[in-house]
Chain A
Amino acid sequence: MNRPSSSIVGTPMDRVDGLAKVTGQACYAADYRGDRGAAEGYIVEAPAAPGRIVRLDVEAAEQAEGVIAVITHRNAPRQRPHGMPEDAGRFTQSHALLERDRVRYFGEPIALVVAETLEQARHAAKLVEVEIDCGEGTFNPFENAASAVKPDSLDGADQVDTDKGDFDTEYAGSDHRVDADYHTSAQHAAAMEPHTTVAEWDGDDLTVHMAIQIVSSAVEAFSNTLGIDKERIRIVSPFTGGGFGSKLGIHNEAVLAALAAKAVDRPVRVVQTRRNLFSNAPHRSRHRQKLQLGADKKGRLKAIRHASLAAMARDYPFAEAPASPTRASYAVPALRTTHRVVKADIPKVDSMRAPGEAIGTLTFETAIDELAEACGIDPVEFRLRNEPDADPQTGKPFADRRLAECLRQGAADFGWQGRQAPGSRRQGRKLLGCGMATAIRPNQLNPAEAEAHLTPDGRLRVRLDMTDIGTGSYTILTQIAADALSIAPDRVTVELGDSEFPETAGSGGSFGAASSGSAVYEACREMVEQLLSRLNEQGHTVNSVSIDGDRVMTGEASVPLATLIDAGGLTVTGEIDPDNYDSGEKNYSYGAQFAEVEVDADTGEIRLRRLLGVFDAGRILNQKTARSQLMGGMIFGIGGALLEQSLMDDRYGSFMNRDFAEYHIAVNRDVPDLQVRMLAGYSEKSNPLGSKGLGELGICGAGPAIANAVYEATGIRVRKFPIHMEDLLPSLPRS
């Protein structure tokens, strides 16, 4: 296979959208100002659930100053029933709201107040009176474990359950065992940009400016919800202010904006409030993960059982796969994994950055640390000793697996000293400890198409419906196109986030760069083919081209583009078909993370001192943006280990800490200098670019490395996350 030439790809090129972002010119959904001024929609949430609306009085709201309409189940435009068609995926099924008098979960919209201004809409929303006849709700999956069921499918994993070898026998025959339940908290993606939609109808045509990760499935979702042809829907999303999974699909404000705009025959903007987002955008379920691990005297794993229990939102089929990374991590003769869910009357549960791995490696890699200690073996050595040479579950080969290299380099760069006696290192009133863990995340390639358009004056325009949610799509696609066509990056314009552009799988699952990048690469290769063929028709015998200004440079000559391309320019398309890259091997990105923490001996406060990650993500497309993404992932890992926790009051099914004052994401001072190392590489089997996904890799392993460091600092093994001071306080010595 030919490796693409590389002069721009791989360099730390500045973001091409950087100027727009630092000058405030980047246009996010809420910044869109159409010709017809948009009315403001404000969501009225159900104050209790599950139940039925027995009284809904909107008269006072309708009479309030500036109010244009109050949309409820009584007057909402027609929609297809929620969840239809049944064979559609969760992103594309009908997301109907305000369907009947039924309320599924706390905070579900029961009305949208539409007014001239935000102030008017917000006030009028408070005038809506509602009574809900509440039934018994199911909120806490652990208290309702008896009603757990096997989900039909898992996100990001082929099988719900797996069972290889004879777990019971191997576990019973193990010399060292770990048997523990771990709990992880519900979490919210909490992107800085709230979910926002501006909907505008022109007759039966709907235009939507919105914050979204995947444009094409959003079109289908609107189509299935509103019962209109996909061709009548246009989505525009040039900039999205972070997604982390929460904007993969459309959410409540989007449906409400579309319904309201139809009802009032005027553009309507709905921006979810920060409090709305905790009920009206998806969250990661709390999980209980049972881990039973066994090893022999030499520290070789004999048995692994990983059983996960979580909540699934009723009527929304999503289940996370925390045991998925467990299936591919270590050589082990007996491996049993199961996932169960309790259907609950709670807001949507859906993907949050690194679904599966973020909380799966958090618990599993902590348990591995426990087992390594039980075996008396250094945790790095323990992992190396159990490194598999083929996929432990299926026996298939790994496409390329450089985890051992990550572990060795990480240990060296971090200055790993081996496991110290817990609680033995002190500096003043601080207890110090180090810990480490491995990172693993499946690498994927999804279908994508792209269009390239070259003008006679030598400007290349690339279009696809890919999004840039902060990942750097604009930049890497510019680099890929520049290399593929040997054209200067400043002659390339990448246009994204528009459903009129060729379809991609969008941003998600760490597949965005590879999938859309490969499509752009293929489109540009097609452009090269066309140019070569035209050059050859003109008698030039050439097999490569580059573009310099308005001329094509060939080995022997410089030909004006205008002689090859007519005034309208040359448009070609390219696509990537993942089947061509399905080698049957197991393909992952890898990493090893090392952390040092300090724990205040008086208060139990935990602060991170150091975090170093070494990652294998194949060929790095842009050193700068890749580093940033990995760092961002590592900070999510800090959050999962020490900070983030969406707390539900299980009497009511309501999240209580619905703001940034109480839902703690890391602030600047929580984050020390993060060390990021990326192994040089090229993943032949992944895609034509040689890259592997890294948008979620940084989370994996970061949390457990921190948790294991807390253990070394204190000697206290906490099996619930986030770890807080009160988990350590009871065991800290009296002053």
Chain B
Amino acid sequence: MKPFDYHRLASEEALGKMEAGRYLAGGTNLIDLMKHQIETPDALVDVTRAGMDTITETDGGLMVGSQVTNTDLASHPAVRRDYPVLSSALLSGATQQLRNKATTGGNFLQRTRCQYFYDTTRACNKRAPGSGCDALEGLNRYHAILGASEHCIAVHPSDMAVAMAALDAVVHTRKRDGETRAIPATELHRLPGDRPDIDHVLEDGELITSVELPVRPPRLQAYRKVRDRASYAFAVVSAAVALDVDDGRMRNVRIALGGVAHKPWRASRAEEMLEGQQPSAELFDRAMDAEMAEAKGQGHNDFKIRLAPRTVVAVLRDLTEVTENDE
């Protein structure tokens, strides 16, 4: 860990008067990466005691401070009642110890678990731009099948962000000059392209202050995380699904996938095919086949092209109570 200055932010409003530095929230990923010197900030600005740690019910929606811990968000009665996909995603992530520290804002901004990113002796365009990507021809079981580039096939590891994407949450930020903006959760993260070192669209010094959960989310929601270990493991693939069924037809269908791309992947094509239709196993399959049309495996992760749609279809089937289209 490189020596650094440590400052503490007293309030959101004090941001402009602070020394510049990397924002430190729960630290469960940043401190990890700093020990490896994959992250080497000269200064940290601890934002955990600057307020931003409350959950407020707004007009039918919910405003979540960026420093609300994953535990507090997952256990909040309104979240459990109205946004169960989010509670479930949060609880499927990491462990109680980590969720007690990890924050809403920090969870969005955690970095990939690609082992070539973590191993500083290896080529990684995300860690060392221009060095190449050793994962392409290497061990890539956990890697992306959608939206990847020749420069990076890493995936975003968050569970929470997948649920946030499915819920169309909105991320509120504040820049050092006091300017604020609202970014749809689906647009917070980038695809790697030729700049995989840039994970998200936030500018230097821009701080996530809160996350807004929308009014009247779809009533049927579920998060399914597929993993080798029964707990305490990153997703091989995950699916967050939310929809309504009115008069036998699916409405407001939202599907997001985790573990398949550099960002939570909204399955827009599948959503469109399902919207307004009657649920059926056959349609689920067709919709997800369409979603996977451009999926590309890298060898060890080829199975995800089959696994991802099956996972979504299983969740859809459960939520709509469609009996399986058995063999």
Which residues does A use to contact B, with CB under 8 Å? Answer: 47-48, 65, 106, 119, 122-123, 126, 429, 602-605, 607, 642-643, 647, 649, 651-652, 654, 656-659, 661-662, 664, 666-670, 724-726, 729-730, 733-735
> CB-CB < 8 A to B313: which residues of A?
602, 735
* A661 and B113 contact, Cβ closer than 8 Å, known pairs A654-B121, A735-B281, A735-B317: yes
In the complex, the answer to whether A429 meets B314 with C-beta atoms within 8 Å is yes
| 12 extra A-B contacts, CB within 8 A, seeds A652-B122, A657-B115, A657-B139 | A65-B3, A429-B324, A602-B311, A605-B227, A643-B228, A649-B134, A651-B134, A659-B118, A661-B113, A729-B303, A730-B303, A735-B314
> CB-CB < 8 A to B134: which residues of A?
649, 651
Q: How far is the CA of A604 from the CA of B119 in the complex (A)?
A: 30
Q: How far is the CA of A657 from the CA of B35 in the complex (A)?
A: 17
CB contacts under 8 Å to A, within B265-293, are 281, 284-285
Query: Whole-angstrom distance from the CB of B203 to the nearest CB of chain A?
Result: 29
- Whether a CB of chain A sits under 8 angstroms from the CB of B116 is yes
Q: How far is the CA of A450 from the CA of B115 in the complex (A)?
A: 48
Chain A residue, CB-CB nearest to B288: A735
> CB-CB < 8 A to A733: which residues of B?
326-327
Q: How far is the CA of A734 from the CA of B2 in the complex (A)?
A: 51
In the complex, the answer to whether B229 meets A603 with C-beta atoms within 8 Å is no
Q: How far is the CA of A734 from the CA of B324 in the complex (A)?
A: 10
Stretch at the interface among B77-85, B179-187, B191-199, B231-239: B231-239
> CB-CB < 8 A to B43: which residues of A?
none
Q: How far is the CA of A435 from the CA of B226 in the complex (A)?
A: 24
Pick from A123, A656, A669: contact of B138, CB under 8 Å = A656
Query: Whole-angstrom distance from the CB of A618 to the nearest CB of chain B?
Result: 35
What are the 3 closest A-B residue pairs judged by CB atoms, nearest first?
A726-B303, A47-B121, A733-B327
* A670 and B303 contact, Cβ closer than 8 Å, known pairs A429-B314, A656-B115, A661-B113: no
Chain A residue, CB-CB nearest to B317: A735
- Whether a CB of chain A sits under 8 angstroms from the CB of B249 is no
In the complex, the answer to whether B306 meets A664 with C-beta atoms within 8 Å is no
Chain B residue total in the interface (Cβ 8 A)? 43
Q: How far is the CA of A662 from the CA of B300 in the complex (A)?
A: 15
In the complex, the answer to whether A661 meets B234 with C-beta atoms within 8 Å is yes
> CB-CB < 8 A to B122: which residues of A?
649, 652, 654
> CB-CB < 8 A to A657: which residues of B?
115, 139
Query: Whole-angstrom distance from the CB of B126 to the nearest CB of chain A?
Result: 15
> CB-CB < 8 A to A605: which residues of B?
226-228
* A123 and B2 contact, Cβ closer than 8 Å, known pairs A602-B314, A651-B137: yes
CB contacts under 8 Å to A, within B204-232, are 226-232
In the complex, the answer to whether B115 meets A735 with C-beta atoms within 8 Å is no
In the complex, the answer to whether A725 meets B303 with C-beta atoms within 8 Å is yes
In the complex, the answer to whether B232 meets A667 with C-beta atoms within 8 Å is yes
In the complex, the answer to whether A735 meets B119 with C-beta atoms within 8 Å is no
Query: Whole-angstrom distance from the CB of A660 to the nearest CB of chain B?
Result: 9
> CB-CB < 8 A to B285: which residues of A?
734-735
> CB-CB < 8 A to A734: which residues of B?
285, 310, 327
Q: How far is the CA of A725 from the CA of B259 in the complex (A)?
A: 15
Q: How far is the CA of A657 from the CA of B228 in the complex (A)?
A: 14
- Whether a CB of chain A sits under 8 angstroms from the CB of B37 is yes
1/0 per position for B145-171, CB-CB distance to A under 8 A? 000000000000000000000000000
Classify the secondary structure of B's interface with A: loop
- Whether a CB of chain A sits under 8 angstroms from the CB of B307 is yes
Pick from B35, B284, B307, B326: contact of A725, CB under 8 Å = B307
- Whether a CB of chain A sits under 8 angstroms from the CB of B14 is no
In the complex, the answer to whether A666 meets B229 with C-beta atoms within 8 Å is yes
Query: Whole-angstrom distance from the CB of B108 to the nearest CB of chain A?
Result: 19
Query: Whole-angstrom distance from the CB of B315 to the nearest CB of chain A?
Result: 9
* A603 and B119 contact, Cβ closer than 8 Å, known pairs A642-B228, A725-B226, A733-B327: no
Query: Whole-angstrom distance from the CB of B5 to the nearest CB of chain A?
Result: 15
* A735 and B310 contact, Cβ closer than 8 Å, known pairs A122-B1, A726-B303: yes
5 inter-chain pairs at a CB distance below 8 angstroms, sorted by A residue, are A607-B230, A657-B139, A662-B115, A664-B228, A735-B284
* A725 and B228 contact, Cβ closer than 8 Å, known pairs A734-B327, A735-B281: yes
Query: Whole-angstrom distance from the CB of A648 to the nearest CB of chain B?
Result: 8
In the complex, the answer to whether B314 meets A603 with C-beta atoms within 8 Å is yes
- Whether a CB of chain A sits under 8 angstroms from the CB of B97 is no
> CB-CB < 8 A to A661: which residues of B?
113, 233-234
Query: Whole-angstrom distance from the CB of A207 to the nearest CB of chain B?
Result: 30
* A667 and B231 contact, Cβ closer than 8 Å, known pairs A122-B35, A603-B310: yes
Q: How far is the CA of A667 from the CA of B327 in the complex (A)?
A: 34
Chain A residue, CB-CB nearest to B113: A661
Q: How far is the CA of A721 from the CA of B236 in the complex (A)?
A: 18
In the complex, the answer to whether A670 meets B137 with C-beta atoms within 8 Å is no
Q: How far is the CA of A724 from the CA of B2 in the complex (A)?
A: 39
Chain A residue, CB-CB nearest to B327: A733
Query: Whole-angstrom distance from the CB of A546 to the nearest CB of chain B?
Result: 50
Chain B residue, CB-CB nearest to A48: B121
Query: Whole-angstrom distance from the CB of A351 to the nearest CB of chain B?
Result: 25
> CB-CB < 8 A to A659: which residues of B?
118
Query: Whole-angstrom distance from the CB of B322 to the nearest CB of chain A?
Result: 10
Q: How far is the CA of A657 from the CA of B114 in the complex (A)?
A: 9
Q: How far is the CA of A604 from the CA of B1 in the complex (A)?
A: 40
> CB-CB < 8 A to B35: which residues of A?
122
> CB-CB < 8 A to B113: which residues of A?
661-662
